[in-house]
């Protein structure tokens, strides 16, 4: 069954207005055009919504017209959509469109740029990039062959054919390098050096790290530096050879009010394994509850560290 084109167009237009109202696009009409033209529902032929403590599956082939309508309108909600669930646990999702818009604007692509996306997901983000730059300029990579196969199928249905590669995202995609931009849609614990080596000088890397978004400028194959953006970001972790396990934290005795503060949780994530949580709390209070934009990350040769205010300042922690 094909989705009702009138309902799809109305829902997509409403989503575009909602993203625009959030201020995500600023003065870049190219991304507004991409979200207006790329049909998100083709990338989420089914998804799951919370129901009774579990998940309910909505899909475009449902014989019930009312449920098909819920699926189609829900596909254009400004919300993340659970796309893979196993044994009641969420495995993957399609990101919130307004967050995707903010990330794409912050990526600061220009005509002619070559982009590597790490984490293919449903293929929707790669379609937006392909619409903006041309499919031949876009490469998306994912470790899971089921994900890349479905992303490739969704992209073809929408009329886009960027390079979709099955492989370890931490290793990048050297055969398609060099890249002017790298964007990750999975959370990192550190910046893979292979990415720097595959970047052109002056390239920009945008990636989720410690519940934030780090924007790095690449100087050469061994050096990069940048600050966190204001926007919080929560993504599934990067999988593959460059991924590392979570770092255990002992946060007993910390005040509940601090633990409920989203920015303090960001600092805990950023300094996990290198700074005692109670020391992190003392630092956070002493520095006036610093916001994300005061923190940054530097890569220099074999070293990589996070810092507050100044990469050479007194507050720095290895990643």
**Which residues are part of the catalytic machinery?**
92
String of DSSP letters for 275-294: S-HHHHHHHHHHTTS--GGG
Q: What are phi and psi of 45, to 5 degrees?
A: -60, -20
Strands, E, within the chain: which ranges? 46-51, 54-59, 81-86, 89-94, 115-118, 138-142, 163-166, 179-184, 199-209, 212-220, 223-228, 295-300, 303-308, 316-318
Using CA atoms, how far apart are residues 178 and 231, in angstroms rounded to an integer? Answer: 28
Sign for the pseudo-dihedral over CA of 58, 63, 66, 68 = positive
Using CA atoms, how far apart are residues 35 and 178, in angstroms rounded to an integer? Answer: 27
CA angle (39 as vertex; 177, 71 as ends), nearest 5:
125
Q: Which of 215, 216, 184, 220 is nearest to 200 (CA)?
A: 220
Name, in order, each residue with C-beta under 8 angstroms of 77's C-beta and a sequence gap of 6 or more: 15
Using CA atoms, how far apart are residues 143 and 139, in angstroms rounded to an integer? Answer: 14
CA atoms within 13 A on the CB side of 16: 18
Using CA atoms, how far apart are residues 158 and 142, in angstroms rounded to an integer? Answer: 20
Q: Measured in whole angstroms, how far is the alpha carbon of residue 145 from the centre of its chain?
A: 19
Task: Give the burial class of 30: count Cβ atoms within 10 A of its Cβ; 0-12 exposed, 13-18 middle, 19 or more buried.
Answer: middle
């Amino acid at each position: 069954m094909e989705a009702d084109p009138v309902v799809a167009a109305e829902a997509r237009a409403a989503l575009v207005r909602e993203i625009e109202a959030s201020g995500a696009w600023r003065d870049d009409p190219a991304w507004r055009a991409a979200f207006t033209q790329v049909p998100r529902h083709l990338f989420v032929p089914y998804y799951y919504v919370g129901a009774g403590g579990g998940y309910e599956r909505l899909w475009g082939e449902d014989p019930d017209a009312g449920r098909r309508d819920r699926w189609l309108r829900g596909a254009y909600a400004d919300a993340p959509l659970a796309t893979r669930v196993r044994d009641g646990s969420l495995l993957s999702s399609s990101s919130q469109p307004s967050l995707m818009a903010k990330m794409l604007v912050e990526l600061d692509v220009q005509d002619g740029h070559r982009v590597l996306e790490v984490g293919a997901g449903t293929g929707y983000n790669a379609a937006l990039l392909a619409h903006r730059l041309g499919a031949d300029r876009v490469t998306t990579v994912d470790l899971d062959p089921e994900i890349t196969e479905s992303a490739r199928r969704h992209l073809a249905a929408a009329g886009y054919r960027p390079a979709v590669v099955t492989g370890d995202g931490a290793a990048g995609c050297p055969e398609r390098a060099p890249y002017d931009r790298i964007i990750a849609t999975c959370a990192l614990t550190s910046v893979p050096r292979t990415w720097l080596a595959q970047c052109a000088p002056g390239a920009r890397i945008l990636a989720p790290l410690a519940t934030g978004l780090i924007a790095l400028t690449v100087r050469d194959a061994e050096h990069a530096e940048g600050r966190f953006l204001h926007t919080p970001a929560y993504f599934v972790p990067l999988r593959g050879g460059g991924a590392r396990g979570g770092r255990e934290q002992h946060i007993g005795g910390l005040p509940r009010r601090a633990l409920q503060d989203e920015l303090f949780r960001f600092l805990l994530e950023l300094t996990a394994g290198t700074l005692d949580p109670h020391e992190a709390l003392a630092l956070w209070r002493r520095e006036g509850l610093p916001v994300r934009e005061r923190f940054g990350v530097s890569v220099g040769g074999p070293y990589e560290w996070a810092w507050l205010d100044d990469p050479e300042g007194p507050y720095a922690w290895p990643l």
